[in-house]
Amino acid sequence: MAHIPELTILQPADKEQIDLPRTSEDELAVGKKRLYIESYGCQMNFADSEIVAAVMRNAGFATTSSAEEADLIFLNTCAIRDNAEQKVRNRLKHLTGLKRQKPELLVGMLGCMAERLKTKLLEEEKVVDIVAGPDAYRDIPKLVEEAESGQKAVNVFLSREETYADISPIRLNSNGVTAFVSIMRGCDNMCSFCVVPFTRGRERSRDPHSIVREAQDLFDQGYREVTLLGQNVDSYKWQGRSDGSAEGMGHGVDSSTQPSAITTFANLLEMVAQIHPDLRVRFSTSHPKDITDDVLHTMARYENICNYIHLPAQSGNSRVLKLMNRTYDREWYVGKIDRIREILGEDCGISTDMISGFCTETEDEHEESLSLMDYVHYDYAYMFAYSERPGTLAAKKYADDIPEDVKKRRLNEIIAKQLTHSAERNQRHIGQVQRVLIEGPSKRSDDFLCGRNDQNKMVVFPKGNLQKGQYVNVLVTECTSATLRGEVV
C-alpha cells in the first residue's frame, strides 16, 4: 500500500484521514448536481478521488465541501485494516440519517473496501446505492444513472490496462503548492498480510510522457512539488515498442517480441526532475527488494529530488519477513539502508512501516524489530498492530495467534522507540539552515507558516511577509519529535 508520510509519527488510530474539499474551492453549481467526496486510507485513494471528481465534472456534476448540500456522496474507502473499514461503516450510519431527510440523495462506495466486499456491501449497508472498484471510475456516470432510476449499481471489474493516464485530476483540498501524481496502479507483490493485490489488481505502469505532461502542467499552474505515487514505485517499467506504441509492464510481461526502449523508475525520476529546478520531486512507496543504486544515484545528481525515502521494513526478523512473503531478509534490508547512507549521506530522511504481533511472532523476534529501528534510526514511521484481513494469504495459511494485549504492548514499545529516534533525528537539524517550501499557515496559528524541508520534515516559522509557494531558508532553533521550528534567514 502506498503510504505518504504525513510529517509526524502516526499513531495506529491516525492512519485513515478524511478528505474534505475546501469551501473556497466549491464550484458554482447553477443547474448542476453537487458531488461530495471523502477519502480514507493511503494517498493513492486521495489521488483517485481527484480522478473521480474529474470524471464527474465531465458528467455535469460540481463539487461541494458540504455533505448536507450534496446530491451524490462518495466514500473512497480503504481495506488495509479492519479499523479502516469500521470507520467507513460508522460514517454510513450518519449518512443513513442524512438520506432520511433527503431521500433522493445517492451514496456510493468506491475503492478497496468496495472491491473487497463487492455486492455483499449492498446487502450489509442498505444506504449504499453504488459500488465501484478502483478500476471502474470511468463507468461511474453510468452507475449514477442506474442508481437514479432506482437500481443498485455495481462495477468491480479489475483491469490489467487502466491507468487513467488521459484524465486530468481535479485537485481536491489542494494547497496549490503540492500535488500527487499516480505513475502506476496495482501490485504484484503478494505480501501475505496485504489485501491490496486483491483490491487493486495487477501492476501496470503509466506512459512516462503523460506523467511528465501532468507534472509540467502542475508547475505551470504554480505548484512547486509533486509526489510520484505507486504501490511499489521501484518496479515502475514502461516499454516503448518500435511500432510507435507502448505498454505499461507488470512482472511477467514478455518484452522480447519486438525491439523496445525501457523506461525505469530511475529514468522517470530524471525526466520529472528536469522539468524545472524549482519543482521538487518526491516519491512513495519504495520496496526494499526493488530499489536500485540507479535510483539513489539519480537522487544524488538532482538537488530538486528530495533526500527522503519511505522504505517499509514491516519486521526486523528474517523468519517473520519470510512468513510475510516480503522476499527479502533482515540482512538484505540492512544492506539497502547502508547503500542509502553511503550514496545519499547520513542526513537522508528514511521512514518505515512496522507491524507488531504478526502470526507466530515471538518475543525475541519482536526485539529484532526494535533492534532494526536502533540500527536505522528512522525519521518517522507508520506503526500498526497486525490486523488479519479476509482473503489474504496470511488469513488462509496462518493462525492470528498473538493475543491483542501482547500486540498492543509490542506496538507501544515500537512507538516509544520511534518517538525517541524522531526526536534525535530532528535534533540534528538544530543550528542548520534548511530550505523550506512554504505550504501555508501553521495549524496552530495564522501568525506562523509551515512547509517541509528536503527530508520531508515539517518546519514552522514566523509569517512575516512571506507567501505559500515560496522557497525560504530557515535557521532551525528548536524541535519536537514531529516538528522543526526556526527563523527565516
Q: From the annotation, which residues make up the binding site?
A: 42, 78, 112, 187, 191, 194
Annotated binding site for [4Fe-4S] cluster: 42, 78, 112, 187, 191, 194
In degrees rounded to 5, what are phi and psi of residue 450? -145, 155
Neighbouring residues of 346: CB distance < 8 A, sequence distance ≥ 6: none
Here the cell at position 470 is: 515560496
- Amino acid, single-letter form, for residue 270: E
> CA nearest 75: which of 124, 151, 131, 12?
131
Secondary structure, 3-state, the chain: CCCCCCCCCECHHHCCCCCCCCHHHCCCCCCCEEEEEEECCCHHHHHHHHHHHHHHHHCCEEECCCHHHCCEEEEEECCCCHHHHHHHHHHHHHHHHHHHHCCCCEEEEEHHHHHHHCCHHHHHCCCCCEEECCCCHHHHHHHHHHHHCCCCEEECCCCCCCCCCCCCCCCCCCCCCEEEEECEECCCCCCCCCCHHHHHCCCEECCHHHHHHHHHHHHHCCCCEEEEECCCHHHCEEEEECCCCEEECCCCCCCCCCCEEEEEHHHHHHHHHCCCCCCEEEEECCCCCCCCHHHHHHHHHCCCECCEEECCCECCCHHHHHHCCCCCCHHHHHHHHHHHHHHHCCCCEEEEEEEECCCCCCHHHHHHHHHHHHHHCCCEEEEEECCCCCCCHHHHHCCCCCCHHHHHHHHHHHHHHHHHHHHHHHHCCCCCEEEEEEEEECCCCCCEEEEECCCCCEEEEECCCCCCCCEEEEEEEEECCCEEEEEEC
